[in-house]
Structure 1
């Protein structure tokens, strides 16, 4: 049984992320937790009562059309969105958090500032999937996994990407953006270990030359591989995710991925 958190602000974007999560896990036994956090200040017009009505209405609609394998629970709390998500992850043993983004691009929202940004920066206990607000979801035939082979993976760290790939028989495309001709010894060892961990999952390795930036390289890969349905990063200190954050090209919104982004935490 999977435990999946669905934060909602009752917007179209959060609803799209909810619909995508249900679609992605439609064949799996799941408990979905609908979470709304209200944090009232004197200038706000909304009330706890208003939020309660909207959350209950959403819950009833989902219950009326749910799969026999799915269960829904609603949670209404007075807290910041970040605080509520953090607490719920611990209390409900959440494995995946699906969040809608306000922009057409998940990257746009992640790097330009939002609740999603705060969650990605501050929460390290669950896998976060950011879904573009206008994303017209489909089966992720190909999953792009950016990797530099500098991290020694624990089996549990790969569990989220293996699970997502297993849902619809997706292929994990492990992309190594190289600036050197040969892997260092530790990188080669980590690659072999990764291959061992993924032995029962369809995967392949793609080695590409780095263009002007990591961003430009990934953008080019999206053009070459038309069936990419998700881009995955591991949240390490020196990962591609961190490099993307630091690249000016991202902050200038040159790179726009139209598919969900999944950020997996590093396990201590």
Structure 2
């Protein structure tokens, strides 16, 4: 049984992220933890009992989907959202976290703009699926994995990606956005090892000319390939990637495209 964390601030966007998660894992046995984190509350309307009622109503709506494979449990924590998320991932042994990019409360303030990059950096032990506010409800026929082959992948880093490919029966497209620079020997070796590690799932390698930025290149690719339902990226610790790829991609792709973004943890 997979354990999925669903942070909520009761906004429409967080509900859409939950709907996406329920659809993504529709045929899988899953236990969903619906997490709401709050700090000190004083008003009667937003007091803890009021929040509990909102959570109960939300769980009732989710159970109304009538998927026998899915169970939902509430997690109510008086803590800042980032700490609550980190603790929940560890305590509940979470396999995936699925959340929206915008909302109306403290959770929204974290997952907007450059602050979102900071939060994603702090969650190091769980794959995160970020669902855009207006994501396209499209069949997930293909998953794009953006890669420059500078990282030597461990099996556990690829397992979440392979799992999603299998349950969705999707094709994995490993995309390298290329300038005129040729692959170095280590990149060629990493590419070959990656190919071997992905042998059990359908995949293909694709080299695409780099546009003005990686994010604009991804957007153009998505426009050309309507079957792409998820874009995957590795969370990189390398300063070069952080400057030239990591922050621009997260900022421009996660918050302006209509395709969910999968951020894979880096166990380096």
TM class, shorter-length: 0.7 to 0.9
Number of the residue aligned with 2:235? 235
Number of the residue aligned with 1:13? 13
Number of the residue aligned with 2:262? 262
> Counterparts of 1:167 and 1:119 in 2: how far apart (Å)?
28
Residues 236, 266 of structure 2: 8 Å contact kept: yes
> Counterparts of 1:169 and 1:252 in 2: how far apart (Å)?
28
> Counterparts of 2:81 and 2:176 in 1: how far apart (Å)?
35
Residues 143, 165 of structure 1: 8 Å contact kept: yes
Structure-2 change in CA distance of 1:44 and 1:97 (3 Å): farther
Number of the residue aligned with 1:192? 192
> Counterparts of 1:25 and 1:261 in 2: how far apart (Å)?
16
Deviation per CA, 1:72-99: give whole Å up to 9, x if none.
1111111111111100000011011011
**How many residues align structurally?**
260
SS at 2:71 equivalent:
strand
SS at 1:37 equivalent:
strand
SS at 1:256 equivalent:
coil
Deviation (angstroms), 1:242: 5.4
Number of the residue aligned with 1:106? none
Name whichever of 173-182 and 5-14 sits farther off: 173-182
SS at 2:32 equivalent:
strand
Please, what is the CA RMSD of the aligned residues? 2.5
Runs of 5+ unmatched residues, structure 2: 104-109
TM-score, scaled to structure 1: 0.88
1:1-268 equivalences under 5 Å are 1-40=1-40, 46-102=46-102, 112-113=113-114, 116-238=116-238, 243-247=244-248, 256-268=256-268
> Counterparts of 1:250 and 1:182 in 2: how far apart (Å)?
25
> Counterparts of 2:188 and 2:11 in 1: how far apart (Å)?
46
> Counterparts of 2:264 and 2:246 in 1: how far apart (Å)?
16
Deviation per CA, 1:52-89: give whole Å up to 9, x if none.
11001111222343322111111111111111110000
SS at 2:54 equivalent:
helix
What stretches of structure 1 move > 6 A for 4+ residues in a row?
A: 249-253
Structure-2 change in CA distance of 1:230 and 1:9 (3 Å): same
Deviation (angstroms), 1:221: 1.2
Deviation (angstroms), 1:214: 1.7
Structure-2 change in CA distance of 1:154 and 1:250 (3 Å): closer
> Counterparts of 2:163 and 2:9 in 1: how far apart (Å)?
27
> Counterparts of 2:154 and 2:101 in 1: how far apart (Å)?
30
> Counterparts of 1:66 and 1:118 in 2: how far apart (Å)?
37
Deviation (angstroms), 1:245: 4.8
Number of the residue aligned with 2:106? none
Deviation per CA, 1:185-217: give whole Å up to 9, x if none.
110110111111110111111112222222232
Deviation (angstroms), 1:111: 5.8
> Counterparts of 2:262 and 2:160 in 1: how far apart (Å)?
9
